[in-house]
């Protein structure tokens, strides 16, 4: 078993189920999104560039998506905290995921990468 797979399996429910669902939602947004283990956490890359990641907030014990270029987005549901570049989107693991909101911010980020604002190797 890979370290990446092990990360998901070691989580307790309902956080585990939320993280696995988020993983599937992210991966199905574009065929160029890949999943990798970087910096000790599950990262998603778009054409090899770090795009977003999944983690559990230490203070709130809630899973979240961290958007690598989050500072470029003004959505009110994205939280900056003490990060200079990244913003996060927290999820209550006991509630349904806001699928449209997740897909919207992932697609917005993909568009940002596609426009060449982030240099991507083709």
Residue 121, domain member (yes or no): no
Q: How many CB atoms lie within 10 A of CB 30?
A: 18
Residue 120, domain member (yes or no): no
Residue 33, domain member (yes or no): yes
Low-confidence ranges of the chain (pLDDT < 50): 119-122
Distances 59 to 48, 55, 56, 63 between C-alpha atoms, Å: 31, 12, 9, 11
Residue 117, domain member (yes or no): no
Q: For residue 15, what are the domain limits?
A: 3-112
pLDDT score at 26: 98
pLDDT over 70 percentage in the chain: 93
- Total domains, the chain: 1
Q: What is the pTM of this model?
A: 0.90
Task: Convert 53-80 to b/e letters by CB count within 10 Å (16 or more is b).
Answer: bbbbeeeeebbbbbbbbbeeeeeeebbe
CATH code of the domain in which 64 resides: 3.90.1150.200
Residue 122, domain member (yes or no): no
Residue 48, domain member (yes or no): yes
| C-alpha distance across the termini of the chain, in Å | 31
pLDDT score at 116: 67
């Amino acid at each position: 078993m890979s370290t990446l797979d092990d990360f998901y399996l070691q989580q307790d429910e309902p956080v585990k189920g939320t993280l696995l669902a988020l993983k599937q939602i992210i991966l199905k947004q574009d065929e160029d999104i890949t999943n990798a283990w970087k910096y000790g956490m599950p990262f998603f890359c778009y054409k090899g560039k770090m795009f977003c990641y999944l983690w559990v907030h230490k203070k709130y014990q809630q899973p979240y998506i961290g958007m690598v270029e989050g500072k470029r987005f003004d959505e009110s549901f994205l939280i900056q905290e003490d990060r200079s570049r990244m913003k996060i989107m927290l999820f209550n693991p006991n509630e349904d995921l806001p699928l449209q909101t997740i897909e919207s911010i992932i697609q917005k980020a993909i568009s940002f990468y596609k426009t060449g604002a982030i240099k991507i190797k083709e």
